[in-house]
A and B are shown apart, each in its own frame.
Chain A
Amino acid sequence: MSDKILYGYTGIFDTPDEIILAANKVAEDGYKKFDVNTPYPVHGMDNAMKLPVSKLGYAALIFGLTGTISAVTLMYFLSVFDYPIVIGGKPFFAFPAFVPIIFEVTVLAASIATVVTMIALFFKFPNISHPLHDTEYMKKVSSNKYGILLQADDLKFTEESAKELLAKLGAKDITAIYYDQAEISTEHKIFEPKFISLLIIIAVVVSGSTYFALNKLMFMVPFNWMMEQSKIIPQDNNSFFSDGKAMRTPIEGTVARGNMPYQFKGDPESAGKYLKNTLLPTEKNLDLGKKKYDIYCSPCHGYYGEGDSRLRGQFPNPPSLHSEKVRTWTDGRLYHVITEGQNIMPSYASQMTRKERWATILYLRVLQRSLNAKESDLE
């Protein structure tokens, strides 16, 4: 044993109460470098050992705030500068929507960084050896005993006094712990080539198999059965028909049910002349018109057709619908604008049925009338 260095003296106790008392006595005796090993956290130990308040909280605070700040900056940068899009009419810097993310990032940064700090600073990672490893003492205190260790590098420590103190406290199995100089050598096991190559192999295997599973395996029989079904998909080829296409063209001279070809493509003048509104301005039709107008037209034209768009300058503001020109247009002419669009205004033919388009026009007339009422309206 002579070539080994003394690490400290250990003693074993049977109950948590004894260990609390012992820890308290040792601390009162003036020992600074001693430790208690128990199979589970014993309540009241911090107090008994007279430990100062842990500094770990500051690490949590600093990293938590770092998380907060990075979350705010990141989202500010993304949604205000890099890629601004209007979502649900909210401002680009939509603070309430960011709060959950700020909260999560704060908690994540604080908790991960706290654990890493604890391992790196307090457990002195990457050092993974400790003189207590592989001792009888450690086996006992990690199953059902409570142990105390007086370290030899404490100023008060002498072999006799340590043994005496432990005996006085009623400790059992008082033993000295020695360790090899080699054990605390700075060459850490985790930097050995063997371990590093193991890590590299694991990394390659894990990422390789993930890649294989997601990019290859999914396209193999039988995993692709769901993707490749024997049904006809638009734009696909299909051997059933002689022309090899899955999609059929309509038979010459027929139209599909409910499909009404628009006769006045690119011909607003004729549309204005020949198309007649099919609906009467009944309450029901006007209700429908208002509903559709508010949904489809108001975002650009404003609720009252004055061109006060709600798109915050994301789209050029349209002209007022109360102009002399639009007021004197026939219903058919307006129908043409909705159906075909006009310059940058897109077509609404696919969103609105014919009936809805006519109803919207009726409502538009009501809006126009409201700003340009006739004398007779007052009667």
Chain B
Amino acid sequence: MSSNQTNIDYSKKDLPGILTKLGFALFGVGLVIVISAFFIDHTRAAFNNLILLLFLTSIGLGSLFFVALEYLAGAVWSTPFRRVLEFFAATLVILPIVALPLLFNMHDLFHWTHNEVVQSDTLLKSKSGYLNVSFFIIRMIAFFVIWLTFYFVITRNSKKQDISGDQSLTSKNIKISAVFMPFFALTVTFSAIDWIMSLEPHWFSTILGVYYFSGTVLAALAAATLAIVLLVEKGYFVKGMVRDHYYSLGALLFAFVNFWAYIAFSQYLLIWYANLPEETFWFLHRWEGNWMFVSIGLIIVHFIVPYFGLLSQPSKMDPKRLKFMSVWILFAHFYDLYWLVMPTYGKGYAVFGWIELGFPILAVGLLILIFTFKSKNQNLIPIGDPKLKRGLNFRL
């Protein structure tokens, strides 16, 4: 449709103070729990800390991925809410702090950090060229440096455009996004290998990187969808979001729910089929004791519920349904990470208590705070973006 039909109807309003207060409250409660958890049971806390790191990475990195994807694909429908994803991508900035406690608990988390064990274990010995503490830390730093560099460069250009409206910034970001993509693919894979697979250093699954990626994208998308629907409903967003936009978000969520299931099943099928003891034990651990219920629950929580929840066409554009499903998917992602990480801590017995509850509370508080903080001195939409009007006029 022509660009002269709609005028951008947006004036910046500050987000309500109650949101910041809520963020602080959740953050405070979470922080108290987390700190006491570290004092009471630091091993268990370290495992939960790892889940927290993975979750926040999912949100931050997944959001940055969508921002880059939009530039790269020349997508217009998502331009009006690219800023929301940029705000969530700011989560990347706090990752190093979240990762810090892990470095002090490496021994509790990672079996392969124990020298005497490695020496008497042929497999670990031959893997020690990759799995050793110094290289692990180097890689971790490399991830953060890469993510943060791209985050700062891309969002700075985007922010600059608000004022100057300079179109060349868009083409600059397209190029940067093209460079980012291969880095993203590699870092997301290797972080999955380092932070998830190496918990069971004997185990390997070549698809685990893609598995984590699918969850990452889903979590970022769910967070963004929730924020967008809420902002539109409460009138903080630009006018002109229609069900076509919602439908696209819903369809994308639905697609990635299926993608996750596809990848998760592929991983399971191959391991089940080949039936090699060095691979199957990983699933067996997730079938021992009450882990069996957690595993079955994962299929229901992460696939069946969102699948049927988003299956029909009307449900993909219903704001109420979208809000519910995004919260649900965020929960499902936490659940997924719990299922990935915790069996190493509690072999044969899944534990869940106040410690496991505290970390998600902290995460939600952090995300709210990051979002409100970022939105203080920035517009909620990229008003200088040349694609914005077309994005608002997007119709299916």
Interface residues of A (CB under 8 A from B): 15-17, 20, 43-44, 46-47, 53, 57, 88-90, 96-97, 99-100
Residues of chain A within 8 A of B273, CB atoms compared? 88, 90, 96-97
**With A17-B2, A17-B5 given, is the CB distance from A44 to B269 under 8 Å?**
no
Is A96's CB under 8 angstroms from B313's CB?
no
Distance between A19 CB and nearest chain B CB, rounded to angstroms: 11
Task: Please pick, from B1, B265, B272, B314, the residue contacting A44 in the complex, using a CB distance under 8 A.
Answer: B1
Is A43's CB under 8 angstroms from B395's CB?
yes
Residues of chain B within 8 A of A46, CB atoms compared? 396
**Interface: B268 (CB within 8 A):** yes
Is A89's CB under 8 angstroms from B2's CB?
no
Task: Please pick, from B1, B272, B396, the residue contacting A16 in the complex, using a CB distance under 8 A.
Answer: B1
Q: List 22 A-B contacts (CB under 8 A).
A: A15-B2, A16-B1, A17-B2, A20-B1, A43-B1, A43-B396, A44-B1, A44-B244, A44-B395, A44-B396, A47-B395, A47-B396, A53-B313, A53-B314, A57-B313, A88-B275, A90-B273, A96-B272, A96-B273, A97-B269, A97-B273, A99-B265
Residues of chain A within 8 A of B396, CB atoms compared? 43-44, 46-47
Distance between A193 CB and nearest chain B CB, rounded to angstroms: 45
Is A43's CB under 8 angstroms from B394's CB?
yes
Residues of chain B within 8 A of A53, CB atoms compared? 313-314
Task: Please pick, from B244, B269, B395, the residue contacting A99 in the complex, using a CB distance under 8 A.
Answer: B269
Q: How far is the CA of A43 from the CA of B247 in the complex (A)?
A: 14
Q: How far is the CA of A20 from the CA of B268 in the complex (A)?
A: 49
Is B275's CB under 8 angstroms from A89's CB?
yes
Q: How far is the CA of A99 from the CA of B244 in the complex (A)?
A: 33
Is A100's CB under 8 angstroms from B1's CB?
no
Closest 8 CB pairs of A and B: A44-B395, A43-B395, A17-B2, A96-B269, A17-B1, A96-B272, A43-B396, A53-B313
Q: How far is the CA of A168 from the CA of B268 in the complex (A)?
A: 63
Residue of B at shortest CB range from A100? Answer: B269
Residues of chain B within 8 A of A47, CB atoms compared? 395-396
Residues of chain B within 8 A of A16, CB atoms compared? 1
Distance between B68 CB and nearest chain A CB, rounded to angstroms: 24
Distance between A13 CB and nearest chain B CB, rounded to angstroms: 13
Residues of chain A within 8 A of B244, CB atoms compared? 44
Interface size class of B (residues with CB under 8 A): 10 to 19
Distance between A165 CB and nearest chain B CB, rounded to angstroms: 22
Interface centre among B1, B5, B275, B313 (most CB of A within 10 A): B1
Residues of chain A within 8 A of B265, CB atoms compared? 96, 99
Distance between B250 CB and nearest chain A CB, rounded to angstroms: 15
Q: How far is the CA of A102 from the CA of B189 in the complex (A)?
A: 30
Distance between A110 CB and nearest chain B CB, rounded to angstroms: 13
Taking CB atoms and an 8 Å cut-off, the chain B residues in 371-396 that contact chain A are 394-396
Taking CB atoms and an 8 Å cut-off, the chain B residues in 342-396 that contact chain A are 394-396
Distance between A246 CB and nearest chain B CB, rounded to angstroms: 41
Residues of chain B within 8 A of A43, CB atoms compared? 1, 394-396
Q: How far is the CA of A44 from the CA of B77 in the complex (A)?
A: 13
Residue of A at shortest CB range from B395? Answer: A44
Residue of A at shortest CB range from B312? Answer: A57
Further contacts, 10 of them, CB under 8 A, given A44-B1, A100-B269: A15-B2, A20-B1, A43-B395, A43-B396, A47-B396, A53-B313, A53-B314, A90-B273, A96-B273, A97-B269
Residues of chain A within 8 A of B268, CB atoms compared? 96
Residue of A at shortest CB range from B243? Answer: A47
Residue of A at shortest CB range from B274? Answer: A88
Q: How far is the CA of A97 from the CA of B274 in the complex (A)?
A: 11
Distance between A276 CB and nearest chain B CB, rounded to angstroms: 36
Residues of chain B within 8 A of A44, CB atoms compared? 1, 244, 395-396
Distance between B292 CB and nearest chain A CB, rounded to angstroms: 16
Q: How far is the CA of A100 from the CA of B265 in the complex (A)?
A: 10
Distance between A104 CB and nearest chain B CB, rounded to angstroms: 13
Distance between A90 CB and nearest chain B CB, rounded to angstroms: 8
Q: How far is the CA of A20 from the CA of B396 in the complex (A)?
A: 13
Distance between A20 CB and nearest chain B CB, rounded to angstroms: 7
> Beta-carbon contacts of B116-160 to A below 8 Å, as 1s and 0s?
000000000000000000000000000000000000000000000
> Beta-carbon contacts of B281-315 to A below 8 Å, as 1s and 0s?
00000000000000000000000000000000110
Q: How far is the CA of A15 from the CA of B5 in the complex (A)?
A: 14
Taking CB atoms and an 8 Å cut-off, the chain B residues in 168-214 that contact chain A are none
Residues of chain A within 8 A of B5, CB atoms compared? 17
Residues of chain A within 8 A of B275, CB atoms compared? 88-89
Residue of A at shortest CB range from B3? Answer: A17
Q: How far is the CA of A269 from the CA of B269 in the complex (A)?
A: 51
Residues of chain A within 8 A of B394, CB atoms compared? 43
Distance between B275 CB and nearest chain A CB, rounded to angstroms: 6
Distance between B73 CB and nearest chain A CB, rounded to angstroms: 16
Q: How far is the CA of A46 from the CA of B314 in the complex (A)?
A: 14
Taking CB atoms and an 8 Å cut-off, the chain B residues in 247-261 that contact chain A are none
Residues of chain A within 8 A of B2, CB atoms compared? 15, 17
Distance between A47 CB and nearest chain B CB, rounded to angstroms: 7
Q: How far is the CA of A228 from the CA of B49 in the complex (A)?
A: 68
Residue of B at shortest CB range from A47? Answer: B395
Distance between B224 CB and nearest chain A CB, rounded to angstroms: 22
Q: How far is the CA of A375 from the CA of B379 in the complex (A)?
A: 87
Distance between A96 CB and nearest chain B CB, rounded to angstroms: 5
Q: How far is the CA of A231 from the CA of B314 in the complex (A)?
A: 70
Residue of A at shortest CB range from B270? Answer: A96
Interface centre among B265, B314, B395 (most CB of A within 10 A): B395
Residues of chain B within 8 A of A17, CB atoms compared? 1-2, 5
Distance between A99 CB and nearest chain B CB, rounded to angstroms: 7
> Beta-carbon contacts of B302-344 to A below 8 Å, as 1s and 0s?
0000000000011000000000000000000000000000000
